[in-house]
Amino acid sequence: MIDIIDECGLDLQAIGYHKCKDGKYSLTSGRLEVDSAKKAQETGFDKGSYYIYNCPLLHEFGQECFEYVSSELGKGLKKLLNKHGLNRRSRLLLVGLGNPSILADSLGPMVLKEVELDPFKKSLRLFKFAPNVFSSTGINSFDVVHMLAIWLDVDGVIIIDSLATNAIERLSTSFQINDAGMTPGSAVNNLGQKLCKASIGVPCISIGVPTLLLAGKVKPEWPEELVLAPKDIHKNLNNVAKVISLAINSYV
């Protein structure tokens, strides 16, 4: 299972990949519109807008770098929200997918802890929920998110989850934002039902960061289901969670 669209093996520029100007801290970004059935079939990704950000020096600098990268991510997030008519008055459900008991798969819950909201505010319009994983709860993430989206009468859903990558240098340094939704468990091929507009009933925007390395890409003889994580994953995840939560707090 490929989680990041620019790892699909195609020459993305040939199908409309637009590279944005390079930024500070070696940040690069780009956008691809999967706007036809042909592109979806070629890439293996559903129709939607995909924004990719790579910052190899993310963990070498401090708060200023985090704030800069979060600002750039926030601009992409805002564009996708606006695309679907969502703004600061919209009711949004923030979903942190993943297993909080496994560090490399805990990005979603970690981000939610950093996102600010006032639960006692009468005009509360942001809600956050971490459904955990089926093996821990016996409940599919899709079922509970679908139920909450209806019960809370939200206008949109923002999903945060860990991704898998083929490249070790991208671990905790790349971000993918799209409005095609997210499939719980895709990073470890434990696929649930996809969270997307067609299945949930409202726009679903996903934010993903590769935190897991497919072992077979390191050594072909290693089993496909084996995934690896770096030893400094805790520090890096904390940094990434700060970046994403800053973007959400500032633009949502």
Q: Where are the domains of the chain?
A: 5-251
Integer angstrom CA distances of residue 157 from 7, 154, 182 = 25, 7, 11
| β pairing state of 227-228 and 48-54 | unpaired
Residue 121's contacts (CB-CB under 8 Å, 6 or more residues apart) are: none
Using 50, 70 and 90 to split pLDDT, how confident is the model at 1? low
pLDDT > 60? residue 244: yes
Q: Which stretch of 108-122, 145-159, 178-192, 218-232 has the lowest confidence by average pLDDT? A: 178-192
Report the run of H or E that residue 151 belongs to, with start and end: helix 141-151
Report H helices in 62-139. 63-83, 107-114, 134-137
Integer angstrom CA distances of residue 185 from 44, 82, 157, 163 = 17, 28, 18, 9
Fold (CATH) for 5-251: Rossmann fold (3.40.50)
**Counting beta carbons within 10 angstroms of the beta carbon of residue 175, is it exposed (0 to 12), middle (13 to 18) or buried (19 or more)?**
buried
Cα–Cα distance between 188 and 104 in angstroms, integer?
11
Top pLDDT among 123 and 99 is at 99
**Counting beta carbons within 10 angstroms of the beta carbon of residue 151, is it exposed (0 to 12), middle (13 to 18) or buried (19 or more)?**
exposed
Looking at residue 182, its amino acid is M
Integer angstrom CA distances of residue 28 from 31, 86, 234, 248 = 11, 26, 24, 20
Residue 215's contacts (CB-CB under 8 Å, 6 or more residues apart) are: 222, 223, 224, 226, 227, 228
pLDDT > 90? residue 127: yes
The tens digit of pLDDT for each residue in 58-85 reads 999 989 999 999 999 999 999 999 999 9
Q: How many helices (H) and strands (E) does the chain have?
A: 7, 9
